[in-house]
A and B are shown apart, each in its own frame.
Chain A
Amino acid sequence: MIRSHVLICGGTGCTSSGSAKLHTRLEEEIKAKGLENEVKVVQTGCFGLCALGPIMIVYPDGTFYSMVKEEDLPEIVEEHLLKGRPVERLVYKDKAEGEEAAAEEHYSLNDTAFYKKQMRVALRNCGVIDPEIIDEYIAMDGYKALGKVLTEMTPEDVIQTMLDSGLRGRGGAGFPTGMKWKFARASQSDKKYVCCNADEGDPGAFMDRSVLEGDPHAVIEAMAIAAYAIGADQGYVYIRAEYPIAVKRLSIAIQQAREYGLLGKDIFGTGFNFDLDIRLGAGAFVCGEETALMTSIEGKRGEPRPRPPFPAVKGLFAQPTVLNNVETYANIPQIILKGVDWFRSIGTEKSKGTKVFALGGKITNTGLVEVPMGTPLRTIIEEIGGGIPNGKKFKAAQTGGPSGGCIPAEHLDVPIDYDNLIAIGSMMGSGGLIVMDEDNCMVDIAKFFLEFTVDESCGKCTPCRIGTRRLLEMLTKITDGKATLEDLDKMEELCYYIKENSLCGLGQTAPNPVLSTLKFFRDEYVAHIVDKTCPAGVCKNLLKYSVISDKCFGCGMCMRACPASAIYVTDYTAPGKKKPAVAIDTDKCVKCGACIGTCKFSAITKK
């Protein structure tokens, strides 16, 4: 009789911090103590707190262990699983501000500040079920929605439900899902397709990967529902090959669904046929754009094409196609089961439901969070995210990756939804949320994203191919201290030109990081151009290292650390010091920062 379940995260984050090995060792340890018939080890999807991996939860009490090491396992098995005493020193503690002693201990995951304000809809099974066992998904009401749709609802009912729910695409643009389905249903054709966009390319976003790793059946079920609604019988999941765990779990899930007859011919005896295949992407960012994605599935070079015709009319293999994002699909079975009113009760007026964000950058709790739409950024960063580490000050949050923009401190209280983010010059994007503190240079951030889009531009249209490159050159000119204020105006003009004339979403949104940093942090740009300084001390070419000679003890540590032999001894000995001070030869200095790291007297500055 199994009385206790130990859940170990098998998401990519925890796998790379060693959870797979932990799993094997734990099972050995349990066996050694003769508990194998009482305690079961379950591999699950992502819990969300990736920064603290590997993560382990012991049920029924729900004790939450973080950063578990192999050598901790014998103690956990002996003390907790055998004797029922949680190992206190390994239990997760909220990082309370200030004293370590004041930190609160949390035995249950649900009590932590990280989880309390979250609402898990798309991620509801992630970290709860074993994604490789279809029965566990079924136990969590899995495939019940599909059964209901096939036996009780007409395709029109399903589409109306989607329209009424107000569900909008979670991939970035926020187009109403029901509308897409309605158009695809209305298109006449004897062959239609349902596709899933799992080509998650934004730097810093990984919610789609986590859903596929933690709850792949939810996506399969939702795609079957979509197929029924529009009249399709074949589906494709386009997923990047860089997600090996997600691909493996999805393949297993598809296989299991086929064995159970949940994919294939005559599902539930209703005469409805639907099958699903995986197509691997090679990792080009542009393939996340819908027309490029479908061209890639067709086996051609992944390049976008002009719209219209929209995919709902002429999509994959020139047939009507519905393409939704992974997270969008993960919401759908819940909407069918719990109803439109339930879903509409969550969120804001125009954005219903929840949104998953991938928290990254200068934040304590790096990981995955799901909150109702309309949650202020402040709640996500300060309460759920645990604030900014090392006592630094919040400067801005970047949403939407290379397509989005920055949100400065003055907009921290804006309720986050699709429309509010666009109003302040950013966008939801797929939900990457990168937090920046005072050590980040905003010009450098804009440059970073531009470098990404320049690399990823497919080159089909000129505004994007050449425009983004020119834009990057201008930014480089600024960070090198060679630009004039006139360049700033030219740059802005170029941004609008690229936005208006590019063929697809990649180019149309590529200038956003520049425009939004220009809007909120123009003074930083001006400082780079006029004063030739980088206020955050990031842009190397504008930095000058110097020694404060009155503070220097002449110990010579920095001279030994300098790889360029740029530090030399001067004739000056400061009052009260025994040895002469040193100085830096700026011509030789490579600005590596090694001297600052070794100086015990804070006598070296960079400005």
Chain B
Amino acid sequence: MKTLAELEAIRERMKGKVAVREANDNTIRIVVGMATCGIAAGARPVLNAIAEEVSKQGLSETVTVTQTGCIGLCQYEPIVEVYQQGKEKVTYVKMDSEKAKKVIEDHIKGGKVVNDYTIGAYNPNL
């Protein structure tokens, strides 16, 4: 390595890989339900799609992808919840990897909640 630019390139390349270890209060938290019910309903590909998309879009520093246990709405799994400080929690239900990509694109990047996938759209009475 002979230049600062090369050092910067390594930093940029690595940053996303270690960002997972930083707990930051200002981040958006995407939580995937990964209890037995969630996994059975296909939460694993959803989680992987989200993690991949977040990294691909360069959002690793502001978005934390994590998992949780059973939320209690097993029939609606896979469930993905988005927590953002100062905003109401958004719960997406019956997710798949395609839907997950759209959520990242529209909601996380664009700031627009994908209403069609939310729990309210499936069951307004809940």
- A269 in the interface (beta carbon within 8 A): yes
Other-chain contact of A83, B3, B4, B35 (Cβ < 8 Å) = B35
Contact with A along B11-41 (1 / 0, CB 8 A): 1011101101101000000001111100100
A60-B20, A60-B64 known; A139+B15 contact, CB < 8 A: yes
**Interface residues in B44-70 (C-beta closer than 8 Å to A):** 47-48, 51-52, 55, 64-69
Complex Cα distance A2/B50, Å?
A: 11
Complex Cα distance A108/B64, Å?
A: 15
Complex Cα distance A161/B13, Å?
A: 31
Q: How far is the CB of A268 from chain B (nearest CB, A)?
A: 6
Partner-binding segment picked from A97-105, A141-149, A478-486, A596-604: A141-149
CB pair B48 A3 closer than 8 Å: yes
- A556 in the interface (beta carbon within 8 A): no
Residues of A within 8 A of B33 (CB): 84
Complex Cα distance A85/B31, Å?
A: 12
A62-B23, A141-B11 known; A84+B4 contact, CB < 8 A: no
A1-B52, A138-B10, A141-B11 known; A83+B18 contact, CB < 8 A: no
Partner-binding segment picked from A20-28, A128-136, A167-175, A382-390: A128-136
CB pair B20 A2 closer than 8 Å: yes
CB pair B17 A2 closer than 8 Å: yes
CB pair B14 A139 closer than 8 Å: yes
Q: How far is the CB of A112 from chain B (nearest CB, A)?
A: 13
Q: Give the number of chain B interface residues (Cβ < 8 Å).
A: 32
Other-chain contact of B69, A83, A135, A141, A269 (Cβ < 8 Å) = A83
CB pair A108 B23 closer than 8 Å: yes
- A262 in the interface (beta carbon within 8 A): yes
Residues of A within 8 A of B35 (CB): 83-85
Residues of A within 8 A of B47 (CB): 3
Other-chain contact of A260, B1, B11, B51, B65 (Cβ < 8 Å) = B1
Contact with B along A117-135 (1 / 0, CB 8 A): 0000000000011000001
What residues of chain B have their CB less than 8 Å away from a CB belonging to chain A? 1-4, 7, 10-11, 13-15, 17-18, 20-21, 23, 32-36, 39, 47-48, 51-52, 55, 64-69
9 contacts between A and B (CB under 8 A): A1-B52, A5-B20, A62-B23, A83-B69, A85-B68, A108-B23, A142-B11, A147-B4, A151-B4
Complex A-B, nearest 3 residue pairs according to Cβ-Cβ distance, in ascending order: A84-B67, A139-B14, A84-B34
Given A60-B66, A84-B33, 20 other A-B residues pairs in contact with their CB atoms under 8 A: A1-B48, A3-B48, A4-B20, A5-B21, A38-B48, A59-B21, A60-B20, A60-B65, A61-B67, A82-B34, A83-B36, A84-B34, A135-B14, A136-B18, A138-B10, A139-B18, A144-B11, A261-B1, A268-B1, A268-B7
